A and B are shown apart, each in its own frame.
Chain A
Amino acid sequence: MEEELKVLGAWASPYSVRVQIALDLKGINYTLYEQDLINKSQLLLQSNPVHKKIPALIHNGKAISESLIILQYIDETWPAVPLLPKHPYERAVALFWAAFTDDKFSLSFRDICRTQGEKQEKCIKETVANMLVLEEALKGRPFFGGESVGYVDIVLGCRAVWIQVCEEIGGVKLIDPHNTPFLYAWVQRFRNLDCVKKWLPDFDKLLSYAYMVRNYFLQQ
């Protein structure tokens, strides 16, 4: 049967970018449909009626949503170039760290970009502390996945440009060669991969977008 694979995504969203990186890493063909997040398309609303969010993966007409669930679906459907380790314990550890990064960074990155003063400082402090936790978890390996890129690398790495944007807006270093040397080397290594270079947003474009959103929220 002819495979039909669509991704409903958005260029600035790390959740979307991670799906695109994973598919490219595995050499899977798909069509990307850039979504308008303000005027949501019928296709998006049908594909994710519960959350009405991107990304959504539509495989032979069946929709899957929630980026981490999509990544696991991709890994199980196309097992070549595995993202998750084979061993159950190592898989659990990978799933844990991926969930940790989303849990800790989804809101804090958003708030660093949208707030100021005490609220922003609190987010920055927490983020710096959480980066140190990840530095420890990386244990000096080339990737979180070990010798090659894996699930945690993609889940955290898709935020690489947002990390830079937060550093710019927050006036702070979140990853640097002094405090987080392993993460610093890791992010360069990750960004050097072809499938990553293809999908990470351009810094200037993302920063402009982030400032536009920041100004909107600061006025509220």
Chain B
Amino acid sequence: MDKVKVLSKWVSMFGMRVPIALEEKGVKYEYQEEDLAPNKSDLLLQMNSVYKKIPVLIHNGQPICESLIILQYIDEAWDYKQLLPINPYDRALARFWADFIDKKFFDSGFRIVWSKDKVEEGKRDMLENLQFLEGALKEMSAGGSLPFFGGKDFGFLDIAFIPFACWFHIYETIGNFKIPFDSEYPLLDAWVKRCMERDSVKKVLPSPDRALEHILQLRERYMVG
């Protein structure tokens, strides 16, 4: 019998990816909520001794770390209902945009939420990054005729990005701006609504208000001045 355990944090966009993927594959798992520092569990410190970060997937006692690596592992270990496309070029494209989300998109959001002097540039970059992602979605959904980044199926890149859907409210509130989804990113707008109807996403994503409240509390605690 497979033993699957997830160490994660409910508000983490990287963390959310893992249970969404497991739900999509219909894999039974045990979820362990990890507090942020300083109370990291012994299990987390042991299973991810290098980075000491969530998410961690523990499959029959073996740890897998780094959310995108975990997604790929899940796809290979439970190799039905594939999350990544079949052909190498499409796989490269999905990985490229997931990497873009982790490097560029996440970073622009991070600056909005956690910096004081880089908020405006964070907002500017975020709008530009969304432009790129809108373009990627257009290409990968055959001009909007298919529902997902994964084409006709909800897949790897959809799972990589959808957790950010509950963070837009956080970025907008702290950054004091409105992301023009209707006018500038209509495909992304429709895609978010579509993904939010999936059982896996409904189960895992917190409400934007709850996420916002939590992040505001953290900012209060950790941001000096």
Residues of A within 8 A of B (CB): 50, 59, 62, 64-66, 69-70, 72-73, 76-77, 88-89, 91-92, 95-96, 99-100, 133
Contact = CB atoms under 8 A, between A and B. Distances in A.
A31 to B, nearest CB: 19
A69 B96 contact: yes
Interface stretch (B61-69, B140-148, B168-176): B61-69
A72 B88 CA distance: 8
23 contacts: A50-B100, A50-B132, A59-B89, A64-B92, A64-B96, A66-B99, A69-B92, A69-B95, A72-B91, A72-B92, A72-B95, A73-B89, A73-B91, A88-B73, A88-B76, A91-B72, A92-B69, A95-B66, A95-B69, A95-B72, A96-B66, A96-B69, A133-B50
A150 to B, nearest CB: 16
B143 to A, nearest CB: 18
B95 A89 contact: no
B224 interface: no
A53 B72 CA distance: 25
A99 B66 contact: yes
A66 B183 CA distance: 31
Interface residues of B, number: 21
Grouping DSSP codes into helix (H, G, I), strand (E, B) and loop, the B interface class, with mixed when no group exceeds half, is helix
Contacts of A92: 64, 69-70, 72-73
Contacts of B70: 92
Interface string B116-147: 00000000000000001000000000000000
**Chain A to chain B: the 7 pairs with minimum beta-carbon distance, closest first:** A88-B76, A76-B88, A92-B73, A73-B92, A92-B64, A77-B88, A64-B92
Given A64-B96, A66-B96, A95-B69, A89 B64 contact: yes
Contacts of A73: 88-89, 91-92
Interface string B38-67: 000000000000100000000100101110
A65 B76 CA distance: 23
B1 interface: no
Contacts of B88: 73, 76-77
Nearest to A88: B76
Contact of A100 (B50, B76, B89, B91): B50
Contacts of A69: 92, 95-96, 99
A65 B99 CA distance: 11
A194 to B, nearest CB: 26
Q: With a 10 A CB-CB cut-off, give which of A88, A91, A99, A100 has the most chain B CB atoms.
A: A88
Contacts of A99: 66, 69
B69 A64 contact: no
A91 B73 contact: yes
B77 interface: yes
Contacts of B89: 59, 62, 64, 73
A83 to B, nearest CB: 13
A73 B73 CA distance: 17
B106 to A, nearest CB: 14
